[in-house]
Structure formats: structure tokens, C-alpha cells
């Protein structure tokens, strides 16, 4: 990484170099062991009505790590975790690392070919899944590299069996190959310390990245520790704080910004299984939640709860939202109703999660030209630049591609040297995101480079049109895409969903946008849908909307 002063940075950092914290040293195992030594009896994990101390978690993960090692897991071996947000996800991660292996993050909603493709590419040797998924997983992975399966129940480690969260109150019969039986059998045993370093791969997380099909991004122990320690420092995480696991743990945000960050610090990591807005709301008060990070769709869902009041948010210190852009209007509405400001945070699978964020207690500015809310400023140890097509920094206030470098950035993609070289030339990550950096160092995410719409030669960024639509009081979600047009080349087309109990028409919304946008920017067609298509992490899928051909 270039440590020399860069004039582009002097507005934010007087010497042209971002401030440095102590570089992350050692491994996640070292950080976890330190946490256990410092506060062995402090609560580390809570799942509804039951809690585990740091010492409890250490014993359980040690026992599971022994089992993994007996099954051949060590450096270079990936073990898939195919679970929802339950304690066993965190236990499995820690146990895999204690055994010396790599945790393969698997979306539990993937089925058939989706799951098999990732397993085949990763070469995973085993998988941890829910007991009710065992038969389907076994059939899907027959003949693959996976040699064994360990099952678990999402009804374990709690006794409430909340019907809003669990589909079935039945626990399947123990097989001896289930997690509960293994922990009983291995209780008290400790694994052989593996020969890991900061460069050892801790996480293998699949992403479409900046271009092309899914690729396995390698997250080293150093990558993950740098983000987890930096993000904890950034959000003032203190002993006794409570972190709610809302972001999916199979996603990099949940895995690192939520789980690893909480696990290696003396705080309580609270699980509630699948995301249910009413359960999230209850958990805030019940567990005294102080920190939460989730996608904007989660906070929209909370806004949609008619009975929700500011009282349920009283214990929260900071709310962060990542994964999808936040419209300024949504932030204002949320703060007015609940008294909580939603701080933007930005990261990618290739950066092991959070690397740019709004400082705690700060209000992100809005770019006057685009109307875009700032995603923040770089976290410690990150270099961020906005570059042009020639690879050189663009002037302040000008759009270009966001480029990132630092110990957070992945060394590359599994078995894909060409893709690695294209996306991370010289160790600098080309994000594929169009951004603006102002003279004060704030970074504004304009849009994805591939989503730009060309209307008769004029450039239109979907975000700007979406933000205008979000100003309408009836709009819950908005997505704008370009679709072929015989006259202008591409036409701006918008899709929206409405807040509960609100009513409006497509004509009214088009007129509303027309009053706020240049003539070539406002939507020529607008469709009101019950819901917008989203990824499993809550991002609206514009590509799904591009192919729609709805009749006016």
C-alpha cells in the first residue's frame, strides 16, 4: 500500500495520509483467546431466553474443533456453514478456526444447483446444516467433495420456540452426527493448536464481485481482524454492550461487522434466528440492545410497524445500515419517529465488510449536485480514492470509480488469477461503484457503473431518481432502471412499493418526480408493485426489474 502523502487527501488528513491504528496482528483465534482470558464469565451469546458465557462458548467450540480435526479439517480445508442466524453459526465459525480450517459462508436459501456450484468450486470437505435440511443437502451434494454432514436444530440453545420465528416445534431425532451429540461426546476436549498466521484464509465468501459470475473471495485472518477491530473502535463498542445479529451471518456484513466484531470484544451477541421486524423491536428492550447493523429494508420494515414507538429504541447507541443506499428522506423519517439517526456504512465482500462509514454522532451531508447522502469517510487503515478511466484521482466533486486499498482488501478470488488481476490490480480494489469525494473527505456513492442510464446521450444515475421518489410520503421503496427505447436509446423506468395504508397513482408519482428532476431524468413509465424483488440480504435487484414488461 502506498504510504506517501497524497494531495488528494489533505483536506481530510493534513499530512495527506489517513491516521493509522495498530495493525491487526495474529489470528482471530488469538483475539478470541484474549477475550476469554479478560472476561471469561461475561455473557458472550444470547438466544431468546438462554445465554452462554465466553467460557461456555470457548469450551463448546473447543469440543467441536476436536471433532473437526478428527474429520481431517486443517489449514486449507473449507467447511460450509449452511445455517440461519442462530448461535450454532458463531460456534461453527470459531470451531473451524480453532481446527485450522476456513469457514465457507453458504446462503441457507440456496437449493440444488445454487448450492452445488459453490461446493464444487470451494472443494469444501464438510458442511454444518439444519437437521430438517439434511436429506436435501445429502442428495444435492452426493458425489461432491463434501465427505460428511453435521446437523443441528434451530430450536437448540433456547426454550421459547417462538412460533413467529420457527416453522416447526419438533426436534428431529438425534443421530449421533448432530451437533448436540458431538458436543456431549467431546465435552472437555481441546484441539491441537493449528499453524495459522494472519495470511491464513479465515472466510470464503461468494460474491458476484464487481463483474461476472460468483467468485470465492478469500478473507484472511488479517483482513477480518482489521475490520472487526477497526469497526468496534469506530462505533465505540464498550464492555457490556449488546449487539443484535440482524444482518445475515452468511453475508460478509453479518459474519464480520456483527459476529466477529462482537465475539472478539467483551460484548453480548444476541440471536433471533430469521429477521422478523416485530421480534427485532421486542429484542431491543428485552436485551438492552446498544448496536445494530442491517440493510435499509430492515429499517423500512420497522417503520412499517404501526405500533412501534421511540420507547423501543431507547437503549440503542448507534444504528448502522449497509448493503444498500439510504435515501435522505428515509433517514429523516426514521429519526423523526424513533429518535435514532441511521448511520451509513459501506463495505464489500472483497473488503471483509465495513471500511467506510459515517462517524458516530455525525450527520452525513448530502451532495448538492446529486442529492446523494454520504456513505461516510474511510475507517482506520484504509486508503480510498476516486479515479478516472486513466486510473488517476479525479478532482474533488467529480464522479469516478471508487478504489480502495489497505489490509482489509482480499488477496484475491479462489483459483481465479485473471479475475483477481482485473479487479484488484496492484492490491487496489476497483469497486465498480461510482463515487464522489468532496473537499472535506466525505464520500458519496452515486451508483453502480453498470447501472448508468443513457437517455439521448445524457447520463442518468438511478439513485438520483430514486431519491426524488423517496421524498413522496407514500413511497416505501423505489428502484429505477433503464429499458430500451426506440427514440432515446434508453428510457428511465421506475418501480415503487407503497407504505402500509398509503395510496397514490403512477401518474401522481411521475408528476412528483418531474417537478424535482431535469426533463431527461424523470421516469417515462412508473409501476406500483406490492413488493420489489430483493436479494437474500435485502438489496433491491434492479436486474430483475429490467426484464419486466408490464403493460401500462
Which three-class secondary structure string do you get for 475-528? EEEEEEEEEEECCCEEEEEEEEEECCCCCCCHHHHHHHHHCCCCCCCCCCEEEE
Burial class (CB in 10 A: 0-12, 13-18, 19+), 528: middle
Q: Are the C-beta atoms of 256 and 379 separated by less than 8 Å?
A: no
Burial class (CB in 10 A: 0-12, 13-18, 19+), 232: buried
Q: How many Å apart are CA 445 and CA 448, to the nearest integer?
A: 8
Q: Is 139 in a helix, a strand, or coil?
A: helix
Q: Are the C-beta atoms of 373 and 344 separated by less than 8 Å?
A: yes
Burial class (CB in 10 A: 0-12, 13-18, 19+), 139: exposed
Burial class (CB in 10 A: 0-12, 13-18, 19+), 497: middle
Quick: pLDDT tens for 433-446: 889 999 889 999 88
DSSP state letter for 209:
-
CATH of 28-437, one of 2.60.40.4070, 2.70.98.40, 3.40.50.12780, 3.40.220.10: 3.40.50.12780
Q: 483 versus 75: which is more confidently predicted?
A: 75
Q: Are the C-beta atoms of 436 and 367 separated by less than 8 Å?
A: yes
Local confidence band at 519 (pLDDT 50, 70, 90 cut-offs): confident
Predicted local confidence at residue 43, as pLDDT: 98
User: For strand 215-220 and strand 268-271, is the pairing parallel, antiparallel, or unpaired?
Assistant: unpaired
Q: How many Å apart are CA 386 and CA 380, to the nearest integer?
A: 18
| 3-state secondary structure labels for all residues of 33-91 | HHHHHHCCCCEEEEECCEEEEHHHHHHHHHHHHHHHHHCCCCCCCEEEEECCCCHHHHH
Q: How many Å apart are CA 359 and CA 343, to the nearest integer?
A: 8
4 pLDDT exceeds 60?
no
Q: What is the mean pLDDT of residues 332-352?
A: 95
Quick: pLDDT tens for 110-138: 888 889 999 999 999 999 999 999 999 99
Q: How many Å apart are CA 6 and CA 10, to the nearest integer?
A: 7
Q: How many Å apart are CA 512 and CA 507, to the nearest integer?
A: 9
Share of the chain above pLDDT 70, in %: 90
Q: Give start-end residues of each CATH 3.40.50.12780 domain in the chain.
A: 28-437
H helix runs in 355-487, sequence order: 417-423, 462-470
66 pLDDT exceeds 60?
yes
Non-local (6+) Cβ contacts of 222 within 8 A are: 23, 24, 198, 199, 407
Write phi, then psi, for 34 (nearest 5 degrees). -65, -40
Predicted local confidence at residue 542, as pLDDT: 79
CATH code, residues 452-546: 3.30.300.30
Q: Are the C-beta atoms of 295 and 257 separated by less than 8 Å?
A: no
C-alpha cell read off for 122: 470451494
Burial class (CB in 10 A: 0-12, 13-18, 19+), 30: middle
341 pLDDT exceeds 60?
yes
Predicted local confidence at residue 323, as pLDDT: 74
Quick: pLDDT tens for 9-64: 333 334 544 444 455 669 999 999 999 999 999 999 999 999 999 999 999 999 99
User: For strand 43-47 and strand 268-271, is the pairing parallel, antiparallel, or unpaired?
Assistant: parallel
Q: In whole angstroms, what separates CA 40 from the centre of its chain?
A: 29
Q: Indicate the angle between helix axes 506-514 and 462-470, nearest 10 degrees.
A: 110
235 pLDDT exceeds 80?
yes
Local confidence band at 3 (pLDDT 50, 70, 90 cut-offs): very low
- Nearest of 197, 205, 194 to residue 74 by alpha carbon: 194
Amino acid at each position: 500500500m502506498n504510504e506517501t502523502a497524497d494531495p488528494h487527501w489533505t483536506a481530510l488528513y493534513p499530512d495527506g495520509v489517513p491516521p493509522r491504528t495498530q495493525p491487526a496482528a495474529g489470528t482471530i483465534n488469538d483475539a478470541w483467546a484474549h477475550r476469554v482470558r479478560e472476561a471469561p464469565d461475561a455473557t458472550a451469546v444470547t438466544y431468546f431466553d438462554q445465554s452462554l458465557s465466553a467460557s461456555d462458548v470457548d469450551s463448546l467450540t473447543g469440543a467441536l474443533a476436536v471433532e473437526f480435526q478428527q474429520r481431517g479439517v486443517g489449514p486449507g480445508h473449507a467447511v460450509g456453514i449452511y445455517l440461519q442466524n442462530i448461535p450454532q453459526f458463531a460456534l461453527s465459525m470459531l470451531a473451524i478456526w480453532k481446527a485450522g480450517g476456513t469457514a465457507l459462508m453458504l446462503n441457507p436459501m440456496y437449493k440444488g444447483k445454487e448450492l452445488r456450484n459453490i461446493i464444487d468450486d470451494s472443494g469444501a470437505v464438510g458442511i454444518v446444516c439444519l437437521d430438517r435440511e439434511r436429506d436435501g443437502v445429502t442428495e444435492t451434494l452426493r458425489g461432491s467433495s463434501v465427505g460428511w454432514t453435521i446437523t443441528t436444530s434451530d430450536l437448540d440453545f433456547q426454550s421459547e420456540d417462538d412460533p413467529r420465528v420457527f416453522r416447526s416445534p419438533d426436534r428431529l431425532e438425534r443421530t449421533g452426527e448432530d451437533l448436540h451429540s458431538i458436543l456431549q461426546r467431546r465435552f472437555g476436549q481441546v484441539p491441537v493448536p493449528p499453524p495459522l498466521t494472519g495470511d491464513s484464509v479465515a472466510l470464503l465468501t461468494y460474491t458476484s464481485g464487481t463483474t461476472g459470475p460468483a467468485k470465492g473471495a478469500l478473507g484472511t485472518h488479517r483482513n477480518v481482524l482489521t475490520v472487526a477491530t477497526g469497526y468496534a473502535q469506530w462505533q465505540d463498542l464498550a464492555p457490556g454492550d449488546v449487539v443484535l445479529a440482524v444482518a445475515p451471518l452468511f453475508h460478509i456484513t453479518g459474519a464480520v461487522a456483527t459476529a466477529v466484531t462482537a465475539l472478539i470484544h467483551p460484548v453480548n451477541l444476541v440471536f433471533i434466528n430469521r429477521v422478523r421486524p416485530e421480534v427485532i423491536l421486542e429484542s431491543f428492550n428485552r436485551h438492552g440492545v446498544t448496536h445494530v447493523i442491517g440493510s435499509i429494508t430492515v429499517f423500512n420494515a420497522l417503520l412499517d410497524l404501526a405500533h412501534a414507538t421511540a420507547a423501543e429504541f431507547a437503549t440503542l447507541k448507534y444504528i448502522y445500515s449497509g448493503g444498500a443506499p439510504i435515501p435522505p428522506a428515509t433517514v429523516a423519517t426514521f429519526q423523526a419517529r424513533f429518535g435514532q439517526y441511521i448511520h451509513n456504512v459501506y463495505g464489500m465482500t472483497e473488503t471483509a465488510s465495513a471500511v467506510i462509514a459515517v462517524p458516530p454522532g455525525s450527520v452525513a451531508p448530502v451532495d448538492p449536485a446529486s442529492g446523494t447522502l454520504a456513505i461516510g469517510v474511510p475507517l482506520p487503515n484504509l486508503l480510498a480514492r476516486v479515479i478516472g478511466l486513466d486510473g488517476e484521482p479525479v478532482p474533488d466533486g467529480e464522479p469516478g470509480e471508487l478504489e480502495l486499498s489497505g489490509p482489509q482488501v482480499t488477496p484475491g478470488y479462489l483459483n481465479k488469477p485473471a479475475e483477481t488481476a482485473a479487479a484488484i490490480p496492484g492490491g487496489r480494489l476497483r469497486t465498480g461503484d461510482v463515487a464522489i469525494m468532496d473537499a472535506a473527505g466525505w464520500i458519496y456513492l452515486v451508483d453502480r457503473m453498470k447501472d448508468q442510464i443513457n437517455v439521448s446521450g445524457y447520463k442518468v444515475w438511478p439513485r438520483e431518481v430514486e431519491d426524488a421518489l423517496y421524498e413522496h410520503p407514500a413511497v416505501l421503496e423505489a428502484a429505477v432502471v433503464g429499458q430500451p427505447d426506440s427514440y432515446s436509446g434508453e428510457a428511465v423506468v421506475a418501480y415503487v412499493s407503497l407504505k402500509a395504508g398509503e395510496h397514490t397513482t403512477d401518474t401522481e408519482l411521475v408528476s412528483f418526480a418531474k417537478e424535482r428532476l431535469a426533463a431527461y431524468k424523470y421516469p417515462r413509465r412508473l409501476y406500483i408493485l406490492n413488493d420489489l424483488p430483493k436479494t437474500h440480504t435485502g438489496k433491491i435487484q434492479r436486474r430483475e426489474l429490467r426484464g419486466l414488461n408490464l403493460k401500462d
